[in-house]
Amino acid sequence: MRRIQALLATLAFAAAPVLAQSKAELQPLPAVPPPPPEMAPFDAALEPEVTIIKREGNTVEEHRINGRLFMIKVTPEHGVPYYLVDRKGDGNFSRETMGNADVSVPMWVIGTF
């Protein structure tokens, strides 16, 4: 019985500020400001095109911008994914793994679920 009385007293103490507030003290929220003028409209040409191909248990993702292949991500059926990246734009791809120091920031794995 004492536990119930203590619980009710705690709830009454916690609810006191809410009950004491009057509607005259409430103020409306300020209006939402418009977006900054320097925001560019969405340009679909700047978004990479990704083609996903399944080959012999491997998943190959080809990333293109304006039709030019710049990165290939290979995910083996068993193992760690690796990247083939065209760093200079000359069509020669070099293998990059997640442990290299020169991996671009967008390729980092932040978390998986």
pLDDT tens track, the chain, 113 positions: 888 888 888 887 777 777 666 666 778 888 998 877 776 677 766 777 889 999 888 999 998 888 888 888 889 888 888 888 887 778 777 776 555 555 555 555 667 66
Q: Decide if 15 is inside a domain.
A: no
Question: Which residue type, as a one-letter code, is found at position 105?
Answer: V
Please tell me the predicted confidence (pLDDT) of residue 54: 92
Q: Decide if 30 is inside a domain.
A: no
CATH code at 69?
Answer: 2.20.130.30
Q: Decide if 63 is inside a domain.
A: yes
- Tell me which residue range forms the domain holding 103: 44-107
Q: Decide if 26 is inside a domain.
A: no
Q: Decide if 51 is inside a domain.
A: yes
Structurally, how many domains does the chain consist of? 1
On whether the pTM is more than 0.85, the answer is: no
Name the one residue in this structure whose structure tokens are 């340009």: 43
Angle at 49 between CA 74 and CA 101, to 5 degrees: 45
Q: Decide if 11 is inside a domain.
A: no
Angle at 55 between CA 69 and CA 102, to 5 degrees: 45
Q: Decide if 91 is inside a domain.
A: yes
Q: Decide if 17 is inside a domain.
A: no
Please tell me the predicted confidence (pLDDT) of residue 96: 64
